[in-house]
Amino acid sequence: MNRAYLALSAQQFPVAADYFDRVLQVDPDNLVAANNRAVCWLFTCELGRAIQSLEHVVRRDPARNLNNTLVFNLCTLYDLRSENSVRDKKYLMQLAARYGSDAFDPSVLKLPM
């Protein structure tokens, strides 16, 4: 993980993404690595890949992986893509209603009021 952070701090985003991927191969439930890998992909202009990776993490185990930071970043990525962002966020809201803990903060969904 440290090598991933070093590559990230040096703006070597593809290298950092590879290191975060290695962490996830050993520990697939490492939400920090999954989140940072998606950020790396965003900086390499792979928005779709970043979105798909975070969606996969959430769908794999929504009860565990509906993390406020991860969901906030996923919703931000939805906004950057812009198409269907409200629909996608509403789907996350449904998952949160079904699986989310009491600690889940609905404001991270960034839904218009």
pLDDT digits (tens, 9 = 90+) for 73-91: 999 999 998 878 888 999 9
- Cα 74 to chain centroid, rounded: 5
- Give the pLDDT mean for 40-57: 96
Q: How confident is residue 33, by pLDDT bands cut at 50, 70 and 90? A: very high
Q: How confident is residue 34, by pLDDT bands cut at 50, 70 and 90? A: very high
What is the structure's pLDDT at 82? 81
For residue 49 the two structure tokens come to 């890949």
* Cα 69 to Cα 10, 12, 105, distances in angstroms: 23, 23, 10
Average pLDDT, the chain: 93
Contact 68, 59 (CB under 8 A): no
Give ∠ CA 92-98-103 in degrees, rounded to 5. 80
Overall residue count recorded for the chain in this entry: 113
Tell me how far apart the alpha carbons of residues 18 and 8 are, in angstroms, rounded to a whole number: 11
Q: How confident is residue 69, by pLDDT bands cut at 50, 70 and 90? A: very high
